Amino acid sequence: MGSFQIEGGHRLSGSIQPQGAKNEALQILCAVLLTSEKITINNIPDILDVNKLIRLLTNLGVKVEKTGKGSYTFKSDDLDLDYLHSEQFKIDGSGLRGSIMIVGPLLARFGKGYIPRPGGDKIGRRRLDTHFEGFIKLGAKFRYNKEDRFYGVEAPKDGLKGSYMLLEEASVTGTANIIMAAVLAKGTTTIYNAACEPYLQQLCQMLNSMGAKIGGVGSNLLTIEGVEELKGCEHRILPDMVEIGSWIGLAAMTRSEVTIKNVNWNMLGVIPNTFRKLGITIEQQGDDIHIPAHTNGYEVQSFIDGSIMNISDAPWPGFTPDLLSIMLVVATQARGSVLIHQKMFESRLFFVDKLIDMGAKIILCDPHRATVIGHDFKSTLKATTMSSPDIRAGISLLIAALSAKGTSVIHNIEQIDRGYENIDERLKAIGAKIERIA
Ligand SMILES: CC(=O)N[C@H]1[C@@H](OP(=O)(O)OP(=O)(O)OC[C@H]2O[C@@H](n3ccc(=O)[nH]c3=O)[C@H](O)[C@@H]2O)O[C@H](CO)[C@@H](O)[C@@H]1O
Ligand SMILES: C=C(OP(=O)(O)O)C(=O)O
């Protein structure tokens, strides 16, 4: 278990290039299973979860070649489907959340798909009903082995058939999985209440460039006309909007002047404005985000009727749940109070105990809601030793430690490495005092 030692209280300064998006990469990597032709993907982040998925694909027989930093080619022309019944697959498949999205492509192309209970953040119940209900609507037979927690789907002899489906919830990975199954099904599939975040738009665009026929991209109503087969393509992954939000939070909390380069503004949705609700100045400079040093702090806005600010998550185009922990930590130094409401996940706010330990004024109202009363930098957080419970709580604790007085230690930093590329070196480059210790 690795740890970071952080000497807080230093102002940072400089430019940061965001990494490729973790959650897009996980979708796109699964899509390489849909064709026997070569696929080139650029801007793949070098992070634990993505590398685990690449290892899984390699073990499944995908020919993977690294052609440069962040660039790979993939060829799925000779897969070893027996691997799906191996002990190694149980280990590989349960190592991350994104592995669930191999099921759709395997079902579409080979008529069967399996997955052990996938891993990922322990942030509450993470059920998979939407995925499997979608496959069943396409005609697949579903089996679940409770003992092994092993899921399986098999297509009928004459293949999957397109159908209309209204998803119970706009599940991100669920929508991606169903789309990837439907692109090779016979006839037309209509998915209503589809998730529509930028990563799904990117997946659809990639699939269309492979020859798929997906309409309604960017909306919650997708129409997919099945095709016989898909061909190779080249795809570039978007900058990671959650990482971009993390850098914004870091700049504000440490009162540092930071420029985040090439953020792809038109794909950030409500993210910049949500930070502005906490009083953070975000300037658009071309395609960069410039955060000036908040020497005089930042003041939480109130609603038009004067009521207390409330920041909550919602399916896209709402505010992503993956940035709420960062909002919460940033609010601890704001001028004013804010209610943070994590609607989607029920165990994602418990890390506030660590912030309270550091001196933050937070009332955890219930598992979903926390009221934060900002210090307005009149008192800084105190350094402490803590452990990272999940990826976004981890980065939030790291931000807290960088703003705190004294030296903090964060254990279990594998959680942070799951989603943030080379974070210590990139922080050092803008002046942070952080060391990776054994
Ligand atoms: C690998 C990956 O891409 N992971 C992301 C993906 O996870 P993932 O695809 O697993 O998350 P889902 O979109 O399925 O659902 C997330 C949670 O929100 C709840 N829910 C979802 C939709 C809805 O309309 N109502 C509702 O309550 C679900 O019950 C679940 O508890 O999307 C989540 C939601 O953006 C992100 O936090 C994860 O980082
Ligand atoms: C919850 C997240 O990831 P995962 O779904 O991979 O656990 C996240 O990226 O914040």
ipTM: 0.98
| Atom number, ligand 2, closest to the C-alpha of residue 98 | 6
Same domain, 78 and 208: yes
Same domain, 223 and 128: yes
Query: Cβ distance 435 to 2 under 8 Å?
Result: no
Q: Indicate the residue among 193, 212, 236 that finishes a domain.
A: 236
Query: Cβ distance 255 to 262 under 8 Å?
Result: no
Query: Cβ distance 420 to 413 under 8 Å?
Result: no
Say if residue 253 carries a ligand binding annotation. Answer: no
Nearest alpha carbon, ligand 2 atom 8: 322
* pLDDT tens across the length of the chain (438 residues): 899 999 999 999 999 999 999 999 999 999 999 999 999 999 999 999 999 999 999 999 999 999 999 999 999 999 999 999 999 999 999 999 999 999 999 999 999 999 998 887 777 788 899 999 999 999 999 999 988 888 999 999 999 999 999 999 999 999 999 999 999 999 999 999 999 999 999 999 999 999 999 999 999 999 999 999 999 999 999 999 999 999 999 999 999 999 999 999 999 999 999 999 999 999 999 999 999 999 999 999 999 999 999 999 999 999 999 999 999 999 999 999 999 999 999 989 999 999 999 999 999 999 999 999 999 999 999 999 999 999 999 999 999 999 999 999 999 999 999 999 999 999 999 999 999 997
The answer, yes or no, to whether any atom of ligand 2 lies below 6 A from the CB of 52, is: no
Say if residue 22 carries a ligand binding annotation. Answer: yes
Residue 358, C-beta contacts closer than 8 angstroms, at least 6 positions apart: 381, 382, 383, 384, 400, 404
Query: Cβ distance 141 to 154 under 8 Å?
Result: yes
The answer, yes or no, to whether any atom of ligand 2 lies below 6 A from the CB of 322, is: yes
Task: Check which CATH number belongs to the domain holding 306 and give it.
Answer: 3.65.10.10
Domain extent, residue 271, equals 3-19+239-437
Same domain, 50 and 174: yes
Same domain, 146 and 201: yes
Alpha helices in 270-366 (DSSP H): 271-277, 324-331, 352-357
Looking at the structure of the chain, the number of domains it has is: 2
Same domain, 249 and 208: no
Tell me the best of 19, 23, 241 to mutate to test the pocket of ligand 2, counting ligand atoms within 8 Å of each CB and taking the most. Answer: 23
